[in-house]
Structure 1
Amino acid sequence: MATVTEWVEGARPRTLPTAISPVLVGTGAAVGAGAVAPGAALLALLVAVSLVIGVNFANDYSDGIRGTDDERVGPLRLVGSRAASPATVKTAAFGCFGLAAVAGLVLVGVSGQWWLVVIGALCILGAWYYTGGSRPYGYAGLGEVAVFVFFGPVAVLGTTLTQSGAVGAGALIGAVGAGTLTCAVLVANNLRDIPTDRIAGKRTLAVVLGDRGTRLLYLVLVAVPFLITIAAAFDRPALLCALLALPLAVGPLRRVLGGSDGMELIPALRDTGFLLLAWSAATAVGLAVAGLG
């Protein structure tokens, strides 16, 4: 039976910046549009965190029963390490999805945006079928596409919409930046796992592109948010505060472009998450100030 510490590690808390960041950006855009709805923001955060933890447990279960994690390089996987039974981990995943669904229903009820129920259902299906089912799209090189969509436009614009009732250019800018940086987190993870994923038949985009191509993709994904920040700053100078996060990109870029592999890439994964969180927090402030000004 897994210990509490192992369950916490299995939930992969290092990935929580991917849940928090789009909510920060979306809330900043909403405040900039004149909306102050802390209750809705907290509900959106609960939905996002529950989904991320749920997808982590779902991946643990699905990869574990396929044997993908038998030669695990990264953090503990509950099923692959035999610390917990597949059924228990699957139950934990669906428990998280259930919590996200309940919080999401309350959120759409408060906001009146009932059509978002369909989007929420698609998020849960996307979370499960990333590695679940007979034909998981994460095994077909589509993980980054889904991550961009769900953690960029869906999460950011959904957060803004449920608070302000409308989506402006600032939210769109934030959605692209949050989506690409979240993809960078996934790419750093999949770069580390190329050798074991290739053996297990898990055809991620990193496996398709190969080591060099994946490292170049990571560079592009990290650069895009800062480039759009500079471009958007001509109209919204307050967004330049997002450049304060730029020094945090140095460490992970040095590791990824410098050829680090295996366990050496775990700090790059962690630091990319911190970079995402810092850029998102600064962008949220910039969007709020730009709108209020």
Structure 2
Amino acid sequence: MSNSARNKPKSKRKGGHPAGKRGAVAPATFRDWVGGARLRTLPLAIAPVLVGTGAAVDASNPGVFHWIRALLCLAVALCLQIGVNYANDYSDGVRGTDAYRVGPSRLTGSGKASPRAVLIVALVFFGLAAVAGLLLVIASHQWWLLIVGAAAIVAAWFYTGGKHPYGYYGLGEVFVFVFFGLVATAGTMFVQVLNVSQVAWLGAVAVGLLACAVLVVNNLRDIDVDKQAGKRTLSVLIGRAWSRVLYAVFVLVPFVILAMISLLYTLGWLGFFTLIAALPAVIITLFGRTPRELITALQLTSISALAYAAFLAAALAWSPL
């Protein structure tokens, strides 16, 4: 068989499973559904809430802490992240993109769960995020935040959903930076103290860049299959070499920001312990060649993002000034 014939994408069926005919597949188990939530991505949802809460504690009066609002922010972020993960599973599955996956199978793409079931679960988590967000709006009396929340859910859906998903046109990093960096961090602080400090914006940029780094290394791993599936991620558009460079920038710039913050918040210097995980991730990404190596880098980056946020939040909340 010629290379051109071998590489020609498979046509999608008009009915049944989007990836084509398959043999009998066992129904999804509870473990499969948990796997569909992609728990390894949840640190990216927790990180901005930690930083925003730390900044809120720093800006509030001593002894004042809106812990219920902080928990509601965490619920919004986690439910939105899980909803995005299931929505991506559904959209990529029905579009046939997951037919080219070489990594862990997805619920829809593998045929273990029906597209309708996966879609319903995604919508349930989007609904839970909306309810938690509404409670925050009621508590803070900032009704205009309803627009921000609606925009976040719409952006989450159209990442891979709809006729022209922006995640297929190299814009995924923009969404991640804006909503899982700027909006999540600044929003967490704002609903607690009705203000966003300069240091909170700096922290928002930092955690947003780390979240983008996770997406870049993930897309770098999948660059060949994404090309085959017609998914034009940023890594597909700029190539492997520039993706590796961009990843390194996304990981290292937050530590420049941390150094700036640490000049005022002295406990911030402890955040440089995060480099124990971040530097190996950069080295692996720059020089690694196999998917397994890049998966390791992805895991280290996710851990780094959470540790970075925890150190920064602690520094903002408890550093002597």
Q: What TM-score do the two structures reach when normalised by structure 1?
A: 0.97
> Aligned partners of 2:154 and 2:139: how far apart in 1?
23
- What does residue 41 of structure 2 align with? 15
Q: 1:28 aligns with which of 46, 49, 54?
A: 54
1:111 to partner: Cα distance: 1.5
Question: Which residue among 282, 306, 309 is the counterpart of 1:277?
Answer: 306
Aligned partner of 2:134 in structure 1 is 105
Equivalenced residue count is 292
The match for 1:160 is 189
Alignment RMSD, CA only?
A: 1.1
Q: Which residue of 2 aligns with 1:59?
A: 88
Is 2:281 the partner of 1:255? no
Task: State the secondary structure of the residue aligned to 1:158.
Answer: helix
Deviations 1:125-177 (A, max 9, x none): 00000000000000010000110000111000000001111111111111010
Counterpart-to-counterpart distance in 1, 2:293 and 2:267:
36
- For residues 15-61 of structure 1, the C-alpha deviation after alignment (integer angstroms, 9 at most, x for no partner) is 00011111000000001112411100100000000000000000001
Q: Specify the alignment match of 1:38 in structure 2.
A: 67
CA distance in 1, matches of 2:29, 2:118: 13
CA contact (8 A) 2:50 2:310 kept: yes
Q: Quick one: distance in 2 between partners of 1:73 and 1:263?
A: 11
Q: 2: distance between equivalents of 1:68 and 1:141?
A: 16
Secondary structure in structure 1 of the residue aligned to 2:84: helix
Q: Which residue of 2 aligns with 1:91?
A: 120
Q: Is the 8 A contact 2:100 2:229 kept in 1?
A: no
Given that 1:21 and 1:280 are in contact with CA atoms closer than 8 Å, whether structure 2 keeps it comes out as: yes
Q: Describe how 1:164-183 pairs up with structure 2 within 5 A.
A: 164-183=193-212
Q: Is the 8 A contact 1:23 1:159 kept in 2?
A: yes
- Residues 47 and 100 in structure 1, CA contact (< 8 A), matched pair in contact too: yes
Q: Is the 8 A contact 1:73 1:263 kept in 2?
A: no
8 A Cα contact 1:9 1:76, kept in partner = no
Q: Which moved further from structure 2: 281-290 or 36-45? A: 281-290
CA–CA distance in 2 between the matches of 1:114 and 1:203? 37
Amino acid at match of 1:275: S
Structure 1 or 2, whichever has the larger Rg, is 2
Of all paired residues, the percent bearing the same amino acid is 53
Question: Which letter maps to 2:273?
Answer: L
* 190-199 vs 237-246, which moves further: 237-246
Bigger RCO of structures 1 and 2 (CA < 8 A, at least 6 apart): 1
Kindly state the Cα deviation for residue 72 of structure 1 after the two structures are TM-superposed.
Answer: 1.3
